[in-house]
Structure formats: C-alpha cells, structure tokens
C-alpha cells in the first residue's frame, strides 16, 4: 500500500472509531434515525477531508484526539450534505458509496432528519473541550466550519448548482460554483490544522492558497471521472452531468485541457507549501493523489 493509501486507511479507521462512540448502536423509538445517521457516515468514502485535517495539523504538532474529532466533524458535514444532495428533490441519486443512498435504504423523511442531526453533531463535536482545551480555538473551528458549510459556502454552491441546470455557465461561474460547493469544506479541512495549532498568519495563508488550488483540482478530476469513470468503481452513477446537459469543467474545457489544468493546479497547490519544507510531504502527496485517483 502506498503512503497515501495507508494514511487514508488509518484516518478512516480513527474517524470511524470516533463516530461509533458519538453515535452508539441505537435503542428506543429513535433507533431508526440513528441507524440512518450511522449508515450514511460510518465506514464509507475515501475520507479525503479528514486526511486533510490530519495532514495540516501534522504541520503544527497538534494532538491526535484534537485532529480526529475535528476530522470527524468535517466528515459529518460532508456526509449530511451527501444525504440531502441525493434526495429525489435534489440530485435524485439512488446509489452512494457503493450502496443504496440513505433515502433509498430508509425513507425520505428519515434521510432528511438524519442529515439534519449529523450537521448538529458536527458542531456539538467541535464545541467540546475534548476537541481543544482552549475554547477560543473551538469557537474559531465552529465559526469557520459554519461559514464553509452555510449559505455563503457549501449550501450556497449547491443552490447555484441547481440553478445551473437551467443556465449555461462560463468557466468563471463554474469555478465559483465549485469553490463554494466543494472548495469551501476542503479549505476548512486544510485550515483546521492551522486553527488547532494556532499557527502564524503566514502559515495559515499558505494552507489557504494550497486548499484553493487543491479544491479546483479535485473538482476538475471529479468531472473527468464522471465523464469517463466506471460507476461500479465509483460507487455512484456516472455521466450524470452530460446526461443533464449541465455545464462542467469538461463541457467547457474538453477532456484534454481539463486533465492538464488539474495537473497544473496540483503542482501549484504543492508549491504553496515550500515554507513547511519536508514536513509537508503528506500534503504534497495528497495533491498528487487528488488528480491521479481513479474513483
């Protein structure tokens, strides 16, 4: 297993362990809700966002428990957004992470509520003294995650994406859409390590620049995988964008230029980390992984 795969696996298992503790096996009449929350969050996905938290925190000697709890909070927000995005009224996707979507495995009402409860759990997790002994750090985490996840971040991007089905976006508009929809949460994951480590402003700035390029590289690669990927490998439907006639990086740039652009952005992301010298090796590996992955 390569270094990055080992790091992903290790992060995934630490996050899962936390999620098992935070959402114990359900009991009582609310059992179904907790089953749905567990179904949609435990043991699924690459855990790229958690790994970004762990890797960025590694630059500043942040404690293991602080990193794992923060990583789990980011993943909880990501998972809740996937549940809601998959709903019939939204993207209407029946498969997610290689299994039936939450509303298919349970029902729509339960899926809506499970997403809502996962979002609340993310903020509960960050606001706890177990996430950081300094409440000012916890507040900063809550505030930054809420902004990244809200109307001026992830949810705003999803709203623009819905509108985009009726409008031909240009490359600038697609870039902004994706910076909100996927970029904001990825940026928070990269910055979280610096917040936890009370890093100096310049370091935080560098991570923000890295996250900006990484987020776009990630999304362009997602569009490439959607255009040519295998739905079985990906664990979800493919070629949905083209079928919907949606403007994507591929429809605007074409496959070859999109691939070049993603590569260039990954290199550029890594270059922002020069000040961290050898300590940023994992962060640089993540940038390569993001554009070279097959799922």
Site of interaction with a copy of itself (CB under 8 A): 23, 29-30, 32-34, 37, 80-81, 84, 87, 89-90, 107-110, 112-113, 115-117, 119-121, 123-124, 126-129, 134-136, 138-140, 142-143, 146-147, 149-153, 155-156, 158-160, 162-164, 167, 173, 177, 180
Beta carbon of residue 290, minimum distance to a copy of itself (angstroms, whole number): 25
CA distance 145 to 172: 25
Beta carbon of residue 222, minimum distance to a copy of itself (angstroms, whole number): 20
For a copy of itself, the closer of residues 7 and 36 by Cβ is: 36
For a copy of itself, the closer of residues 72 and 269 by Cβ is: 72
E strands present in the chain: 95-96, 99-100
For a copy of itself, the closer of residues 53 and 291 by Cβ is: 53
For a copy of itself, the closer of residues 80 and 218 by Cβ is: 80
The first and second tokens of residue 173, run together, are 């508009």
Beta carbon of residue 96, minimum distance to a copy of itself (angstroms, whole number): 16
Phi, psi (deg, nearest 5) at residue 274: -55, -40
Beta carbon of residue 121, minimum distance to a copy of itself (angstroms, whole number): 6
The DSSP secondary structure of 202-260, one letter per residue, reads HHHHHHHHHHHHHHHHHHHHHHHHHHH--HHHHTS--SHHHHTT---HHHHH-HHHHHH
The first and second tokens of residue 129, run together, are 């003294």
Beta carbon of residue 104, minimum distance to a copy of itself (angstroms, whole number): 13
3-state helix, strand, coil in the chain (%, to 5): 75, 0, 25
Residues 6+ apart with CB under 8 A from 8: 46, 47, 48, 51
For a copy of itself, the closer of residues 33 and 291 by Cβ is: 33
Q: Which DSSP category does 276 fall into?
A: G
The first and second tokens of residue 217, run together, are 């590289």
Beta carbon of residue 142, minimum distance to a copy of itself (angstroms, whole number): 4
For a copy of itself, the closer of residues 87 and 252 by Cβ is: 87
The CB-side HSE value for 289 (13 A sphere, CA atoms) comes to: 19
Beta carbon of residue 50, minimum distance to a copy of itself (angstroms, whole number): 19
- Contact 47/18 with Cβ under 8 angstroms? no
For a copy of itself, the closer of residues 60 and 123 by Cβ is: 123
Phi, psi (deg, nearest 5) at residue 99: -145, 170
The first and second tokens of residue 226, run together, are 């959607």
Beta carbon of residue 241, minimum distance to a copy of itself (angstroms, whole number): 17
For a copy of itself, the closer of residues 135 and 200 by Cβ is: 135
CA distance 55 to 52: 5
């Amino acid at each position: 297993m390569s270094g990055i795969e080992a790091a992903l696996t290790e992060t995934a298992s630490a996050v899962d362990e936390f999620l098992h503790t935070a959402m114990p096996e359900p009991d009582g009449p609310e059992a179904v809700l907790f089953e749905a929350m567990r179904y949609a969050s435990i043991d699924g996905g690459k855990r790229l966002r958690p790994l970004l938290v762990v890797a960025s925190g590694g630059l500043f000697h942040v404690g293991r428990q602080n990193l794992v709890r923060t990583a789990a909070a980011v993943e909880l927000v990501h998972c809740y957004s996937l549940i809601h995005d998959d709903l019939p009224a939204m993207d209407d996707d029946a498969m997610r992470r290689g299994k039936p979507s939450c509303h298919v495995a349970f029902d729509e009402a339960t899926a809506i509520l499970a997403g809502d409860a996962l979002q609340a759990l993310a903020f509960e997790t960050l606001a706890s003294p177990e996430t950081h002994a300094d409440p000012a750090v916890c507040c900063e985490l809550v505030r930054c995650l809420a902004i990244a996840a809200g109307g001026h971040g992830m949810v705003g991007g999803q709203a623009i994406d819905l509108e985009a089905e009726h409008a031909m976006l240009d490359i600038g508009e697609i870039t902004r859409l994706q910076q909100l929809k996927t970029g904001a949460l990825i940026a928070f994951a990269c910055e979280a390590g610096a917040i936890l480590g009370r890093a100096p402003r310049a370091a935080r700035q560098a991570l923000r620049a890295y996250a900006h390029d990484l987020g776009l590289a990630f999304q362009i690669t997602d569009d490439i995988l959607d255009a040519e990927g295998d739905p079985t490998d990906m664990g979800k439907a493919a070629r949905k964008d083209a079928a919907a006639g949606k403007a994507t990086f591929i429809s605007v740039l074409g496959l070859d230029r999109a691939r070049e652009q993603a590569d260039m952005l990954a290199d550029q992301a890594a270059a922002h980390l020069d000040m961290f010298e050898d300590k940023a090796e994992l962060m640089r590996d993540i940038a390569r992984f993001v554009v070279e992955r097959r799922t």
